C-alpha cells in the first residue's frame, strides 16, 4: 500500500521526484485523495485531489470554468486568512478568464516572438561570459542569466538585480532552511537599500506569500514605479504602469515576475545539465550534432520539469478520472507525472535529446500557459550552446532543494575544461578534441 502523504511531503522531493510512485498511481489511482499532514511549523491542511495522467492534467488546465485558479489561488497551501486570499487573488496567476485575459494583455507585448527575438543577441552575449575553467557551483553561476534577463526586461537597475534572486529564494524555497534566509544583495541603489531595511523577520510557519511577508518587495516596486512613471519605456514595469492596474494588481504582478520570472530557469537549467551528465551518451550525441539543441531543451524540460504541480479549485460537483469531486475541493495537477505518461510518450523514462513530438506540460496548458515560455527557451538554448564548448564533469554530489513545488537543485558542483580543437590534416578543418 502506497503512503500517499509522500506525494505531498517536501522531504520526498529533497531525495528526488518519486517517479515510481507516480507511475503506480497513474496506473491504479490516476485521481486520488492526498493528505496534507503538518510539516514542522506549518499546520496540516484538508487534503486534495491529485491528478497524475497527462490527459486529465491537460483537461484541468484547459477548463477554468470547472477548475478555477481564482477561488483558492494556485498553491496547495491555503492562505492563512481571508484577507491574504483576497490579496493573492489579484495576481494574474490566480485569476480566471476574462480577468486573466485582461491582465495578461497588459504585459504580453514584452514576450511576443518579435520582442524575444530582439533580446536573443543580448542574452547570447551574456551567456557567453558565464563560464570559466575550473570548479564552479553551476547552480549559482547559471542563476546569473535568468536574473539578469529578468532585471533587463522589468527595468530593474543592475545594482538591484540580486534582490530578485533573494526574493525568489525566500518565497520559493521557504520549506528549505538554507534558501529561506537568503540575503545576498549588496551595492544596492538607494531605493534598494531602503527596501532591504524593510525585510521582515518571519515567525516560524508564517506564509511567505502574504502581503506582510513581502513588504520590502512591494516597497521597492512602488519606489521603482515612481522613477519610471510618466516615461515612455518598453519595460514590463512601464507596461504595468500604463495598464491601469489597481494597487493590489500592480504589487502582485511585480511579485509574479520577480519570483516566477527567474525561479523556473534557476531550476530548469541546472536540472537540464545534471540530466545530461547522468546520460553521457545523450550529451555526446548533442555535442556531435548541435542542431539537436532545440529539441534537447524540450526534452530537458520534460525530463526535469522545473515546477512539479499547480493547484486549482473545483467550481462545482463533477467527475474526473472516475472520482466524484465536490465544489470547493482542491485539485492539484502533477506536471512531473504527466510528463512521464506512457500513453503520450514512448519510453517515457528514457532521456532522448532527439525526442519528437514532445507534448510535455512543463509550461502548463490552456489560458495559463507560461507567458515567458519563449524567452525561457531562448535562455536555455543560449546556456547549453555555450556549455557545448566545454568538457563538463560532475565534481561532487548534487544537493536538491527541499520543496514540494519547485523541482530544484541548491548545489551542482562541476569542473569545466575548455574543449580542445584539433585540425584535420586531410581537410584542414577544425574538429573537437
The SS3 assignment for 422 reads strand
Query: What pLDDT score does 109 carry?
Result: 86
- Sequence length of the chain is 433
Q: How far apart are CA 49 and CA 59, in angstroms?
A: 14
What pLDDT score does 366 carry? 97
Alpha-carbon separation of residue 367 from 59, 125, 241, 299, 371 (angstroms): 12, 33, 23, 23, 10
| 394 vs 180, more confident | 394
Task: Select from 291, 167, 261, 173 the least CA-distant residue to 217.
Answer: 167
**End-to-end CA, the chain:** 52
| Cα–Cα distance, 111 to 24 (Å, whole number) | 38
- Among 119, 56, 117, 113, which residue's Cα sits nearest to residue 331? 56
- Higher-pLDDT residue of 150, 429: 150
The total of structural domains in the chain comes to: 1
Question: How would you classify the pairing of strands 413-418 and 134-137?
Answer: antiparallel
Determine phi and psi for 230, rounding to 5 degrees. 90, -10
**Cβ-based burial of 403 (10 A; exposed 0-12, middle 13-18, buried ≥19):** buried
Q: Report the alpha-carbon angle 79-83-99, nearest 5.
A: 85
Q: Are residues 262 and 168 in contact, defined by beta-carbon separation less than 8 angstroms?
A: yes
The answer to whether 21 and 48 are in contact (CB under 8 A) is no
Please name which of 312, 298, 333, 309 lies closest in space to residue 407, comparing C-alpha atoms.
309
In tens, the pLDDT along 24-60 reads 999 999 999 999 999 988 899 999 999 999 999 999 9
pLDDT at 111: 87
pLDDT digits (tens, 9 = 90+) for 287-305: 999 999 999 999 999 999 9
Instruction: Kindly report the backbone phi and psi dihedral angles of residue 390, in degrees, each rounded to the nearest multiple of 5, phi listed first.
Output: -120, 155
Residue among 282, 289, 288 at smallest CA distance from 304: 282
Which residues share a beta bridge with 358? Answer: none
Q: Could you tell me the sign of the dihedral formed by the alpha carbons of 208, 211, 212, 218, in that order?
A: positive
pLDDT of residue 114: 86
Structure confidence at residue 230 as a pLDDT band (50, 70, 90) = low
Confirm if 289 and 390 have CB atoms less than 8 A apart: no
Whether the ω angle into residue 215 lies within 30 degrees of 0, i.e. cis, is: no
* CA distance linking residue 297 with residue 283, whole number of Å: 12
Q: Return the axis-axis angle of helices 280-288 and 293-303, rounded to nearest 10°.
A: 160
Q: How confident is the model at residue 432 (pLDDT cuts 50, 70, 90)?
A: very low
Burial, 99: exposed, middle or buried (Cβ in 10 Å; 0-12, 13-18, 19+)?
middle
Q: With contact defined as beta carbons under 8 Å apart, do 341 and 50 qualify?
A: no
Q: What range defines the domain where residue 279 resides? A: 5-432
Taking the C-alpha atoms of residue 69 and residue 387, their distance in angstroms, rounded to an integer, is 38
| pLDDT band (50, 70, 90) for residue 150 | very high
- Please provide the DSSP assignment of 270-290 as one string: HHHHHHHHH-HHHHHHHHH-G
Q: What is the mean pLDDT of residues 397-405?
A: 95
Sign of CA dihedral 423, 424, 428, 433: negative
Mean pLDDT, rounded, for 134-155 = 93
Closest CA to 50 of 403, 331, 361: 331
Instruction: Report the pLDDT value the prediction gives residue 205, as an integer from 0 to 100.
Output: 79
pLDDT at 428: 41
| Contact in structure between 282 and 276 (CB atoms under 8 Å) | yes
Kindly give the interhelix angle for 144-154 and 373-387, rounded to the nearest 10 degrees.
140
Distant-in-sequence, close-in-space partners of 11: CB < 8 Å, separation ≥ 6: 39, 402
Query: Residue 30 sits in a domain of what CATH number?
Result: 1.10.630.10
% of the chain at pLDDT higher than 90: 77
Is there a contact between 165 and 217 (Cβ–Cβ < 8 Å)?
A: no
Lowest mean pLDDT among 263-267, 365-369, 373-377: 263-267
297 with 384: CB under 8 angstroms?
Answer: yes
Amino acid at each position: 500500500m502506497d503512503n500517499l502523504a509522500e506525494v505531498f511531503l517536501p522531504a520526498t522531493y529533497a531525495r528526488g521526484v518519486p517517479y515510481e510512485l507516480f507511475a503506480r498511481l497513474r496506473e491504479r489511482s490516476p485521481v486520488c485523495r492526498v493528505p496534507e499532514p503538518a510539516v514542522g511549523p506549518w499546520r496540516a491542511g484538508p487534503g486534495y485531489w491529485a491528478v497524475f495522467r497527462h490527459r486529465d492534467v491537460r483537461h484541468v488546465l484547459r477548463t477554468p470554468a470547472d477548475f478555477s485558479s481564482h477561488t483558492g489561488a494556485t498553491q496547495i497551501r491555503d492562505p492563512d486568512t481571508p484577507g491574504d486570499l483576497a490579496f493573492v487573488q489579484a495576481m494574474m496567476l490566480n485569476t480566471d478568464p476574462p480577468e486573466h485575459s485582461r491582465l495578461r494583455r497588459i504585459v504580453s507585448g514584452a514576450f511576443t516572438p518579435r520582442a524575444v527575438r530582439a533580446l536573443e543577441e543580448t542574452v547570447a552575449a551574456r551567456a557567453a561570459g558565464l563560464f570559466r575553467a575550473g570548479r564552479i557551483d553551476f547552480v549559482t553561476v547559471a542563476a546569473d542569466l535568468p536574473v539578469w534577463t529578468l532585471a533587463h526586461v522589468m527595468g530593474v537597475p543592475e545594482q538591484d538585480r540580486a534582490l530578485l534572486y533573494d526574493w525568489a529564494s525566500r518565497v520559493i524555497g521557504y520549506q528549505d532552511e538554507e534558501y529561506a534566509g537568503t540575503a545576498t544583495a549588496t551595492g544596492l541603489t538607494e531605493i534598494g537599500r531602503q527596501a532591504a531595511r524593510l525585510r521582515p523577520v518571519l515567525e516560524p510557519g508564517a506564509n511567505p506569500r502574504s502581503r506582510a511577508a513581502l513588504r520590502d518587495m512591494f516597497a521597492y516596486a512602488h519606489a521603482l514605479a515612481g522613477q519610471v512613471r510618466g516615461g515612455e519605456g518598453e519595460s514590463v514595469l512601464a507596461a504595468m504602469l500604463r495598464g491601469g492596474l489597481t494597487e493590489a494588481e500592480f504589487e502582485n504582478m511585480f511579485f509574479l515576475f520577480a519570483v516566477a520570472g527567474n525561479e523556473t530557469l534557476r531550476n530548469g537549467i541546472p536540472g537540464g545539465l545534471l540530466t545530461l551528465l547522468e546520460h553521457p551518451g545523450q550529451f555526446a550525441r548533442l555535442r556531435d550534432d548541435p542542431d539537436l539543441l532545440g529539441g534537447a531543451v524540450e526534452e530537458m524540460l520534460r525530463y526535469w520539469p522545473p515546477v512539479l504541480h499547480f493547484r486549482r479549485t473545483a467550481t462545482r460537483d463533477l467527475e474526473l478520472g472516475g472520482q466524484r469531486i465536490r465544489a470547493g475541493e482542491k485539485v492539484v495537477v502533477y506536471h512531473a507525472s504527466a510528463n512521464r505518461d506512457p500513453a503520450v510518450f514512448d519510453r517515457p523514462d528514457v532521456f532522448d535529446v532527439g525526442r519528437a513530438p514532445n507534448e510535455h506540460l512543463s509550461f502548463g496548458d490552456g489560458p495559463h500557459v507560461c507567458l515567458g515560455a519563449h524567452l525561457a527557451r531562448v535562455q536555455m538554448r543560449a546556456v547549453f550552446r555555450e556549455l557545448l564548448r566545454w568538457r563538463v564533469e560532475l565534481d561532487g554530489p548534487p544537493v536538491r532543494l527541499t520543496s514540494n513545488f519547485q523541482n530544484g537543485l541548491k548545489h551542482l558542483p562541476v569542473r569545466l575544461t575548455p574543449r580542445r580543437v584539433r585540425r584535420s590534416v586531410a581537410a584542414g578543418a577544425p574538429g573537437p578534441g
